[in-house]
Amino acid sequence: MFKAERPLGAKPDAYREIGLMARGLIGDERDPIANAANLSALIFDMVPDLNWAGFYFVKGGRLLLGPFQGRPACVHIDIGKGVCGTAAQNRQTIVVADVAKFPGHIACDVASRAEIVVPLVKDGRLIGVLDIDSSVTHRFDADDQTGIEALAAFWLGASDV
């Protein structure tokens, strides 16, 4: 499997390039699971220093594991619990520099040290979250947040959810 060994350039340019790749990869496909699977793989391959990239979807009042790349993960996360559940509850992106300092962090993979979670909201309805983890503390910054939010928005627009 290809894994980016170096950034594609400045982060905003790199995320724009990943966005173009995502559009080409997904094309006219509207299936949310297929699109989540391919977008997870693309993010995992193209964004350096990640150890997990994937989706959780709202089902039965909590988050259920969806397509991802990386090590096995927690299957269910309650809304309001951990980084994913808190982002889902607040419907706001959360960037965590050091997950050990996040109250109530759920350690699905003890190798994860930093995390960014983007809630997926369409027409006022919470669909789930896009969760990205790194084994490097302080891995994510404002450029990552802007880039990952744009990829999440693309998925929402490209998928029948």
Condensed to tens digits (0 to 9), the pLDDT of residues 58-81 reads 999 999 999 999 999 999 999 999
The rounded percent of the chain whose pLDDT value lies above 70 is 95
Are 50 and 18 in contact by the 8 Å Cβ rule? The answer is no
Burial of 4 (0-12, 13-18, 19+ CB in 10 A): middle
Q: What is the DSSP letter of 27?
A: T
pLDDT digits (tens, 9 = 90+) for 147-161: 999 999 999 999 999
pLDDT at residue number 74: 95
pLDDT at residue number 8: 55
Mean per-residue pLDDT for 7-24?
90
Inform me whether the pLDDT recorded for 89 exceeds 60: yes
The rounded percent of the chain whose pLDDT value lies above 90 is 89
Inform me whether the pLDDT recorded for 6 exceeds 60: no
Mean per-residue pLDDT for 24-32?
97
pLDDT at residue number 103: 87
Mean per-residue pLDDT for 128-141?
97
pTM, to two decimals? 0.93
26's CB contacts (< 8 A; 6+ apart) are 35, 38, 39, 158
